[in-house]
Structure 1
Amino acid sequence: MNAHPTQSVFRRARRKAAMVFAGALAVPLLLAGCSDDSSDSPADGATDGATDSETPASGTFDSLTVALPSSVSSLDVSREAGIVNYTIALLAQESLLGIDADGQLVPALAESWDAPDASTYVLQIRDGVTFSDGTDLTVDDVIASINVHAEEGSTSALAYAYAGVESVEATGEREITIRLTEPNSAFPWILSPGTLQITSDEFIEANKDTIGTPETLLLGTGPYKITEFVPDSHVALEANTEWWNGEPKASSVRLDFI
């Protein structure tokens, strides 16, 4: 694993989480959960592609188009970690811990977490979650996703955040234990959307060098599945109807780069 962390490393990771919460989460939060209020309207920069007859009473949309302020060359935030990259990735991928409307950490793919001591974190991985390709989320997927950043020699843009990780191992069928090289009470923020996106172990192994490209796209457990990525043009997504956390707000989404 990587070398000893410094407090500045974790402050940087916390700032990254705050950046994602303030900016990149706006579109994913808009499009993720369904609402009982049929008067919901798209946020600034978004246009509703559905007619009134296509809009169900639940407040969901048949289609939605959102304008993004710039293009990206990769969908993979471990390679290119800008606000627009996160905006796209967080529609398709999730982290172990989420951030609620008050900016506090909440359960996501980890349904609970505990710190038996100041340098050890134990997380219970949510059961019944599937990736958008239909495969089940396992602890091996979680460990592989963390190790993309934490393993020795990682070239991930997010590797700095995992400098203090000594080991990541399965300690139960739905449990992982992360041990740090030194105590760090802020470490759970590393497991939030700013510095962790979960994908499958098999997907990583099969596509290690091409994840995030137009050919490979992304795989995640999130509310949407990316179906097309055309740099300098758009990203197309469709609802993940098997999403564990409810019904996505739109059947299909198009993100246009302007």
Structure 2
Amino acid sequence: MTARGGRILRRRAGIAVIAVLALVTTACGGTGNSDSRGSVTSVSMLTTVLPPVLDPRQSSSLASGSLLIALEPLVRYDGGEFKPLLAAAIENPDPKTYVLTIRDGVEFWDGSPFTAEDAAFSIDLHTGDDSESVNAALFGQVKSVEVTGDREVTVSLSAPDPQFTAVLAQIGMVSESFYGKNGKRVGTQDVLNMGTGPYEFAAFTPTRELTLDANDGYWGENKPELKTVKLGVVGDDAARMNALQSRQYDGMLNVPLPQVASIRGLPGMRIADSADLSVYKFNLNVETEPWDDIHLRRAFQKALNRQAIIKGALGGNADPAPTVVPEPVMAGLAGKEATRTAYAKLGDDIVFDLDAARSEIAKSSSPGGVSSEVLVTGSDPTLALIVQTAAQDLAKIGIELKVREVDDQTYYSAVYFEHETDGVSIDMFSGSAPDASNLPMYVLNGANAVTTGGSGTNISDYVNGDVDALLGDSRKLAVDDPKRGALLLEALTLGQADVPYVPIASPKVFIAGRNGLDVPSLSTFWWMTQWPEALVAP
């Protein structure tokens, strides 16, 4: 596949961070220290992914948890809702216009003021066809960003986007003058970046380690509780367990599902869980032979034993997924009864049935069977376990899956960015906002297929005009309008009939921490919150 300008660049670094992220904290009793500020003064964290540069253009979703405590957003996710932060107020005079009032008195770490010009510049980094941002798809509806007053920025959209406030919570604000001075060196280990947050960048080894120190001159009323926050990467299960057992690290967010039981058994460790807006799924690329044959895709779908995968590979720590959106999330929008009815039908369509699978493969262009290599990454060991478990039943109908573990860069490039696989891929796709439309917009929208020049999050390169129209119509409605739910349910049903993906399970988020860390205070969208303060809250 040929690279198309900046699109490959922005795909290359960004969707990697949609993968599972593990996070570890160090508190009192480990390497943390104590003083008059409280019982915990430093927190060390282990994560499976850190961004290659400290730039909001190169980090999204879970990995942004390392940036948003330093490069603060205009809006903060707090207590289950989005609240103004660097924006003092947000007005929405019509569905396609957002007027942002920029908070007065905010300063960057170097003492310079945060201005409306900085806010507009920060948003514009992610807009336009030439943007190199991995978050560009989130800002696809932005038509213009203008400074319309001394402390006012107006964002005009080409079409309504009910998720736009959530979008603003996912990107940090930066200094326009700092970018102008440092150019392409911004975010590197020598230059770092300039923000307004309670923690500022101190040291950085790309993709391996990040240290942040308290900003004692923080503009906000709530001063930083910790002196130091440190993030590091430990790549395999054994090393991760050793780090926890040695008390080098005292907790973990997004615990890999196969390790939940082992980590729960560590002395002094407790684990909290919550529902996740994520799905493990197989992607069947409809543009790649032989998977362009719907009968072969249906055979794969019918031969997938979800219960065996959940029990074995996922350790029972997930629920069967009849589609890509977890049922509780959809029920909150579409209503419990409508969702229950639709999801029951979707579940019936993907029941494990080897006889039906054999019938479908006999009708396909590959009645004698097929063999496909499936790439996995060690960052999420669950992927290999899922493929290995699934392969046992798929082999009974002549579909051979061969696992090949590769490094993160190779995996994300092949699976998400360039779609250069044998046509079958496995991933765990996480939503970037707590909204029922979030995952369908990424996974089913034809605009996100590589074949249409999109972001690549539509891994199956699936394009269906009727599905796209339903998704488009849903964006025109208010966030809490149940009609949005009805449109999304119809889109999910139409899409699943074509089998571009095969949903497996919706995992839970497990958060582990030693005594002294308030792990139950964090949930699936911890990365959009001021999570260090929540962990050590009295």
TM range (shorter): 0.7 to 0.9
CA distance in 1, matches of 2:207, 2:162: 41
- TM-score by structure 2 length? 0.37
Residue number among 112, 116, 119 corresponding to 1:142 in the alignment = 119
Farther off after superposition, 206-215 or 124-133: 206-215
Q: Note the C-alpha offset of 1:238.
A: 0.9
CA contact (8 A) 1:61 1:251 kept: no
CA contact (8 A) 1:46 1:67 kept: no
Aligned residue number for residue 237 of structure 1: 212
Q: Note the C-alpha offset of 1:64.
A: 2.9
Aligned residue number for residue 153 of structure 1: 130
Q: Residues 143, 232 of structure 1: CA spacing in aligned structure 2 closer, same or farther, 3 A cutoff?
A: closer
Q: Note the C-alpha offset of 1:190.
A: 1.6
CA distance in 2, matches of 1:186, 1:230: 33
Q: Residues 201, 71 of structure 1: CA spacing in aligned structure 2 closer, same or farther, 3 A cutoff?
A: closer
Aligned residue number for residue 131 of structure 1: 108
Letter in 2 for 1:216: V
CA contact (8 A) 2:107 2:114 kept: yes
Aligned residue number for residue 386 of structure 2: none
Aligned residues: 215
* 1:183 pairs with 2:160: yes
CA distance in 2, matches of 1:96, 1:107: 6
Q: Note the C-alpha offset of 1:117.
A: 1.3
Aligned residue number for residue 200 of structure 1: 175
Aligned residue number for residue 256 of structure 1: 232
Q: Note the C-alpha offset of 1:257.
A: 2.1
Superposition CA RMSD, Å = 2.6
Give deviations 1:56-75, integer Å, cap 9, x for gaps. 1x426443322223454223
CA contact (8 A) 2:72 2:172 kept: yes
Letter in 1 for 2:187: G
SS in 1 for 2:137: helix
Residue number among 107, 120, 129 corresponding to 2:84 in the alignment = 107
CA distance in 2, matches of 1:109, 1:232: 28
Q: Residues 71, 119 of structure 1: CA spacing in aligned structure 2 closer, same or farther, 3 A cutoff?
A: closer
* 1:47 pairs with 2:27: yes
Residue number among 182, 190, 194 corresponding to 1:219 in the alignment = 194
Q: Residues 80, 191 of structure 1: CA spacing in aligned structure 2 closer, same or farther, 3 A cutoff?
A: closer
Q: Note the C-alpha offset of 1:242.
A: 1.9
- TM-score by structure 1 length? 0.74
Q: Note the C-alpha offset of 1:80.
A: 4.0
Aligned residue number for residue 247 of structure 1: 223
* 1:210 pairs with 2:217: no
Aligned residue number for residue 163 of structure 1: 140
Aligned residue number for residue 499 of structure 2: none
Q: Where does the alignment leave 5 or more consecutive residues of structure 2 unmatched? A: 1-14, 235-538
- How is 1:1-150 mapped onto 2 (pairs within 5 angstroms)? 45-48=25-28, 49-51=31-33, 54-56=34-36, 58-59=37-38, 61-81=40-60, 83-84=62-63, 86-102=64-80, 104-150=81-127
Q: Residues 132, 105 of structure 1: CA spacing in aligned structure 2 closer, same or farther, 3 A cutoff?
A: same
Q: Residues 112, 241 of structure 1: CA spacing in aligned structure 2 closer, same or farther, 3 A cutoff?
A: same
Letter in 2 for 1:182: A
CA distance in 2, matches of 1:206, 1:151: 23
CA contact (8 A) 1:124 1:176 kept: yes
CA contact (8 A) 2:75 2:165 kept: yes
CA distance in 1, matches of 2:209, 2:58: 19
Q: Note the C-alpha offset of 1:205.
A: 1.7
CA distance in 2, matches of 1:159, 1:213: 21
More strand by share: 1
SS in 2 for 1:47: coil
CA distance in 2, matches of 1:230, 1:210: 14
Q: Where does the alignment leave 5 or more consecutive residues of structure 1 unmatched? A: 1-15, 28-43
CA contact (8 A) 2:25 2:43 kept: no
More helix by share: 2
1 or 2 for the larger relative contact order (CA 8 Å, sep ≥6)?
1
Give deviations 1:28-86, integer Å, cap 9, x for gaps. xxxxxxxxxxxxxxxx63234454xx421x426443322223454223241243633x1
Identity across matched positions, percent: 32
